[in-house]
Amino acid sequence: MLRFIVRRLLQLIPILLGLSVLLFAWLRALPGGPAQAALGERATPEAIARYNELFGLDEPILVQYLRFLGRAVRLDFGTSARTGRAVTTEFFERMPGTVELTVFALIFAVGVGIPLGYLAARRHGSWLDSTSVIGSLLGVAIPVFFLAYLLRLLFAVELGWLPGSGRQDVRMDATRITNFYVLDGLMTREWDAAWDAVLHLILPAIALGTIPLAIIVRITRASVLDVVNEDYVRTANAKGLAMSTVRRRHIIRNALLPVSTTIGLQAGLLLSGAVLTETVFAFGGVGSAIYDALFARDFALLQGFILMLAVVYVLVNLLVDISYGLLDPRVRAR
């Protein structure tokens, strides 16, 4: 198992190197290049020339790349043109919000999706089944940001049941430890702060979780229907096991294998969707920072954020792979 993990970790190196080359080239290819990225849209040509000289941007490209790589390894991506703060600082301040959002979205998707898919399969052909099939098709076709706007309009603006923007009420004045607002509230025993953060997460999490929910319902349903017809289920029934035992030990356990694969596949979808959802709810995570950076043409921040998000994505995938290695010995051998 250890060998498997080490091998997987080693295989990350070429990917990360390739990513760094890609994003280095990206910033270089932009009109104005890195100088423009650092100084902002309205930088004068003289300022750009001075910047280029100062930061060695007139040196050979390979030297520049190695220097970029050296800084990237130390997580130094320069300063944001919009806020004037270090890109990395911005990232680590905002990432916890996005993590909280994606975790809540995933809890919603899995918590609703698996039972719903299972019930749909058990009542194959019933109205519940057809509704969940149609619902899961619609869920994939709906643009995330539109759904987010609808939810916000209905439950925050019209009905006023839930907060429609931000991560916490500004009047809360909560203590910050980790920047995970819910966790912070729990750690400091500021229960009202934690609860307020949870309330702020509900609508964005539902919006973000809908596509994964639709996919999970569909896969669970299909997978349960597959397994029900397997020989071992017939055998279990034939030898007189109680129906509940067959369901628990034979059907659900086997049906959940493809479902767990699907859940692992959602990481990228959630990160992409977070950009859109956070923008609608002015959530203050990584996603809304990317949106703001796009408008302000804050390229240094975009470069750093995209690179770091890609690394996060790669690491999440790695974790998913390792957990499969633990679950299924066949994967390890490959």
Contacts of residue 151, defined as CB under 8 A and 6 or more positions apart, other chains included, come to 203, 206, 207
Residue 83 or 317 with smaller CB distance to other proteins: 317
Give 63 or 138: the residue with its C-beta nearer to other proteins: 138
Residues that bind other proteins (CB under 8 A): 7-9, 11-12, 14-15, 18-19, 22-23, 26, 29-30, 137-138, 140-146, 149, 153, 157, 261, 264-265, 268-269, 271-273, 275-276, 279, 290-291, 294-295, 299, 302, 306, 309-310, 313-314, 317-318, 320-321, 324, 334
- Cα–Cα distance, 87 to 300 (Å, whole number): 7
Helical pair 191-228 and 144-151, crossing angle rounded to 10 deg? 130
Phi, psi of 86 (to 5 degrees): -65, 135
* Shortest Cβ 279–other proteins spacing (Å): 7
What is the closest distance, in whole angstroms, from the C-beta atom of residue 96 to other proteins in the complex?
A: 18
Phi, psi of 60 (to 5 degrees): -55, 150
Residue 74 phi, psi dihedral angles, 5° rounding: -90, 15
Shortest Å, Cβ 53 to other proteins: 25
| Closest to 251 (Cα-Cα) out of 242, 328, 213, 131 | 242
- Which residue lies nearer to other proteins by CB, 114 or 308? 308
Minimum CB distance to other proteins, residue 280 (Å): 8
Contacts 24+ apart (CB under 8 A), 39-42: 39/81, 40/81, 40/82, 40/296, 40/297, 40/298, 41/81, 41/296, 41/297
Least distance from C-beta 240 to other proteins, angstroms? 31
Tokens of 181: 């607002």
Q: Closer to other proteins at the Cβ: 8 or 50?
A: 8
- The residue (of 10 and 238) whose beta carbon lies closer to other proteins is 10
Report the C-alpha gap between 46 and 58 in whole angstroms: 14
Kindly state the smallest distance separating residue 245's Cβ from other proteins, in Å.
Answer: 29
Residue with tokens 């086997």: 254
Q: Which is nearer to other proteins, 61 or 134 (CB)?
A: 134
Distance between CA atoms of 157 and 175, rounded to whole angstroms? 28
Min. distance of Cβ 40 from other proteins in angstroms? 15
Minimum CB distance to other proteins smaller for 127 or for 295: 295
Residue (68 or 181) nearer to other proteins, CB:
68
How far apart, in Å, are the Cα atoms of 258 and each of 74, 219, 221, 328, 332? Answer: 38, 7, 11, 12, 17
In DSSP terms, 79 is beta-bridged to 86
CB 286 within 8 A of CB 94: yes
- 278 close to 287: Cβ distance less than 8 angstroms: yes
Handedness of CA 34, 39, 45, 49 (dihedral sign): negative
* Closer by beta carbon to other proteins, 28 or else 50: 28
User: Shortest Cβ distance from residue 42 to other proteins (Å)?
Assistant: 18
CB of residue 272 vs other proteins: minimum separation in angstroms? 3
SS3 state of residue 86: strand
